[in-house]
């Protein structure tokens, strides 16, 4: 079974600064996907970014980028130029390929962006 660990329950960052959220995972699989989901106070689950394990290049989506270290089983999320609207819970998730889109989530990191 896979496990996903987010060791930072809460983080805070000032507006316009950069913050990095950590995620590690444990798996014996070689083919999988990793995701970061954002959950604002509205409770919606919003996909932020996706990384395929077979790709060495780190995924980027505008101000969001990841540092994917497959050998170390690490998948951190970097948010640049933080905005107040980035305040949310952030969940790291793992999905083994060919498993009907079943996700294994970490426990989340609560990010507060301050003025």
Could you tell me the smallest distance in angstroms from the CB atom of residue 115 to other proteins?
28
Q: Where does this chain bind other proteins (CB under 8 A)?
A: 4, 33, 35, 42-45, 47, 50, 91, 95, 97-108
**Cβ-based nearer residue to other proteins, 19 or 48:** 48
Could you tell me the smallest distance in angstroms from the CB atom of residue 92 to other proteins?
9
DSSP calls for 42-74 = T---EEEEEEETT--SPPEETTEEEEEETTTTE
**Cβ-based nearer residue to other proteins, 14 or 107:** 107
Please return the burial class of 102, using the count of CB atoms within 10 Å of its CB with bins 0-12, 13-18 and 19+: exposed
């Amino acid at each position: 079974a896979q496990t996903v660990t987010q060791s930072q329950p809460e983080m805070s960052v000032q507006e316009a600064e950069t913050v990095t959220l950590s995620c590690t995972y444990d798996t014996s699989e070689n083919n999988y996907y990793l995701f970061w989901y954002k959950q604002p106070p509205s409770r919606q689950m919003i996909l932020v970014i996706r990384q395929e394990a077979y790709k060495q290049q780190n995924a980027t989506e505008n101000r969001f980028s990841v540092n994917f270290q497959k050998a170390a089983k690490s998948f951190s999320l970097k948010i640049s130029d933080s905005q107040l609207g980035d305040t949310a819970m952030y969940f790291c998730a793992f999905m083994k390929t060919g498993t009907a889109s079943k996700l294994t989530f970490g426990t989340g990191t609560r990010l507060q962006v301050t003025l």
